Amino acid sequence: MKRRVCVVITARPSYARIKSVLQAVADHPDLELQLIVGASALLDRYGNTVNYIQDDGFDITSRVYMVVEGENLVTQAKSTGLGLAELATVFDNLKPDVVVTVADRYETLATAAAATYMNLPVAHVQGGEVTGSIDEKVRHAVTKLSGLHFVANERAAERVRRMGENPGAVHVTGCPSIDLAASVLASPEITFDPFEKYGGVGARLDLSGGYLVVLQHPVTTEYDAARSQVNETLYAVRDLGVQVLWFWPNVDAGSDGTSKGIRVFREQDGTDHFHFFRSFPPEDFLRLIHNSRCLVGNSSVAIREAAFLGVPAVDIGTRQAGRDAGANVINVGYDRLTIEQAVRRQMDSGRYASDALYGDGKAGGRIAKLLESVELSIEKHLCY
């Protein structure tokens, strides 16, 4: 009988980080894919990731609405609680053999805990990395709930093992997000008109004239500062005079601060060289980045896919603090002048060499093979 592999996707970036695994599981003759889409991945104002998933040909087994709307941290906790209660019912019906959880967003704890409490083996993708913020705690807590670890590189593997995980359960597969970057490197041209295909608001830019891509999320432990932080970036890129493609942030406590900063800016300032997008499917997004002069903000894409693509990046603030980064990244504080100077420096330096720090582009197949072949167990104990 085929092993039932249940993958839970809760946000736009998670999809990019697991898509090649979905494909490889769906294509594997001895695996059955059960795909649950929940949280902000279902929501229009966070880019309707669910539509991209379906457009890519994946069947969605179950949808779980779980985002409790609000403007403060209390609703992050409540959303996770609601998701935990609901995912338990879903797992109870689907009876998967293994549950795959992706990365470290707060609501992924619901996936890992529901599966663990129901005696289902949990496989975690992207453990062992290091950042700041709540993500840092969630990531390692999920590691301690999981029995199978698919990590990006040897440094991550070492951290997972040192936390007491069974070395035999830690597999360096590379990050599946790099698989998409590798496929984009094979056909990097922007053959579509982004303004026509993906709408958005703002000026219709001439991409051949060079442009920046900006993606800045609120940092949840600095909730109140979200709006002022995004302002620094807005004014920095405005003052650079380069064309800007700006992407809206994920759902998070503070996202309304960030969103409000962006909205007020749009209404008050000359933004004739700005265009604002909700979301893109991952490959087209990576094509935009590949052809940009610099990636700006605090997305992990800077450190991960952009490193592989060799695109210069300016990483702002503490969100990626401590993460292993390649030569393509300059980290700066929340200060418009510093940001402006760093972007100029990166535009001057131009493209970097491709860096396989987070994978070689073959993670999906490796993970599917492991999901089919490894012995699945729910018992674990500290390996010291």
- One residue of 68, 94, 185, 203 binding its own copies per CB under 8 A: 68
Strand, coil or helix: 305: helix
Contacts with its own copies, 268-307, as mask; x by CB under 8 A: ----------------------------------------
**Residue 372 CB, nearest distance to its own copies (Å)?**
24
Longest dimension (CA), the chain: 61
Residue nearer to its own copies on the CB measure, 114 or 182? 114
Strand, coil or helix: 255: helix
**Residue 304 CB, nearest distance to its own copies (Å)?**
19
Torsion sign (Cα): 238, 342, 347, 297 = negative
**Residue 230 CB, nearest distance to its own copies (Å)?**
15
Count the Cβ atoms, other than its own, within 10 Å of residue 197: 11
Residue type, 265: F
**Residue 244 CB, nearest distance to its own copies (Å)?**
18
Instruction: Looking at residues 140 to 169 of the shown chain, list those that interact with its own copies (rule: CB under 8 A).
Output: 140-145, 159, 162-164
- One residue of 27, 30, 59, 69 binding its own copies per CB under 8 A: 69
User: Does position 118 bind its own copies by CB under 8 A?
Assistant: yes
Check: CB of residue 247 under 8 Å from CB of residue 284: no
User: Does position 81 bind its own copies by CB under 8 A?
Assistant: yes
Residue nearer to its own copies on the CB measure, 20 or 62? 62
Cα 15 from chain centroid (whole Å): 7
Q: Which stretch binds its own copies (CB under 8 A): 4-12, 38-46, 181-189, 298-306?
A: 38-46
Instruction: Looking at residues 320 to 339 of the shown chain, list those that interact with its own copies (rule: CB under 8 A).
Output: 321-322
User: Does position 62 bind its own copies by CB under 8 A?
Assistant: yes
Cα 48 from chain centroid (whole Å): 15
User: In whole angstroms, what is the distance from residue 19 CA to residue 176 CA?
Assistant: 7
- One residue of 45, 95, 204, 351 binding its own copies per CB under 8 A: 45
Residue nearer to its own copies on the CB measure, 227 or 238? 227
Name the helix (H) or strand (E) containing 213. strand 211-215
Residue nearer to its own copies on the CB measure, 25 or 87? 87
User: Does position 82 bind its own copies by CB under 8 A?
Assistant: yes
- Reported for 135-140, long-range contacts at CB under 8 A and 24+ positions apart, including other chains, are 135/104, 135/105, 135/106, 135/319, 136/104, 136/322, 138/104, 138/105, 138/106, 138/108, 138/109, 139/103, 139/104
Q: Which stretch binds its own copies (CB under 8 A): 27-35, 73-81, 228-236, 359-367?
A: 73-81
Check: CB of residue 373 under 8 Å from CB of residue 173: no
Contacts with its own copies, 212-251, as mask; x by CB under 8 A: --------xx-x---------------------------x
- One residue of 10, 80, 177, 292 binding its own copies per CB under 8 A: 80
- One residue of 267, 270, 373, 375 binding its own copies per CB under 8 A: 267
- One residue of 27, 30, 44, 272 binding its own copies per CB under 8 A: 44
Kindly provide the b/e burial profile for residues 42-52, where b requires at least 16 CB atoms within 10 angstroms of the residue's own CB.
bbeebbbbbeb
User: In whole angstroms, what is the distance from residue 47 CA to residue 25 CA?
Assistant: 25
Instruction: Look at the chain and count its residues.
Output: 384
User: In whole angstroms, what is the distance from residue 188 CA to residue 291 CA?
Assistant: 8
- One residue of 26, 54, 56, 88 binding its own copies per CB under 8 A: 88
